[in-house]
Amino acid sequence: MTLAAESAPLRHTPLHELHLRLGARMVGFAGYDMPVQYPTGIIAEHLHTRAKAGLFDVSHMGQIRLRGVNAVQALEALVPGDLQALAPGRMRYTLLLNERGGILDDLMVTRVPNGSGDGLMLVVNAAGKEADLAHLRARLDKTASIDPRFDRALLALQGPSAAAVLARFAAGIDRTAFMSATEVSLAGILCFVTRSGYTGEDGFEISMAAEDAIGLAERLLAEPEVAPIGLGARDTLRLEAGLCLYGHDIDETTTPIEAGLAWTIGKRRRAEGGFPGAEIVLAQLVEGPSRRRVGMRPDGRAPAREGAAILDDAGREIGRITSGGFGPTVGSPIAMGYVDPTHATEGTALALVVRDVPRPAHVAPLPFVPTRYYRG
Structure confidence at residue 7 (pLDDT): 63
For 290-376, CATH gives: 2.40.30.110
Residue 77: which region, alpha, beta or left (left: phi > 0; alpha: psi -120 to 50)? alpha
* Range list for CATH 3.30.70.1400 in the chain: 60-148+255-288
Structure confidence at residue 1 (pLDDT): 57
Q: Supply the pTM of this predicted model.
A: 0.96
Distance set, CA 71 to CA 92, 103, 110, 143, 144 (Å):
15, 21, 12, 7, 5
Structure confidence at residue 197 (pLDDT): 97
- Run means of pLDDT, 10 residues per run, the chain, 376 residues: 62 98 98 98 98 98 96 97 97 98 98 86 97 98 96 98 98 98 97 98 98 98 98 98 98 98 97 98 98 98 97 96 98 98 98 97 98 94
CATH architecture observed for domain 16-58+152-240: 2-Layer Sandwich (3.30)
Structure confidence at residue 6 (pLDDT): 45
Burial class (CB in 10 A: 0-12, 13-18, 19+), 17: exposed
**Which residues sit opposite 29 in a β-bridge?**
32
CATH, domain 60-148+255-288, list 3.30.70.1400, 3.40.250.10, 1.20.1250.20, 3.40.630.30: 3.30.70.1400
* Range list for CATH 2.40.30.110 in the chain: 290-376
What is the torsion angle, in degrees rounded to the nearest 10, for the CA atoms of residue 357, residue 361, residue 365 and residue 367?
A: -40
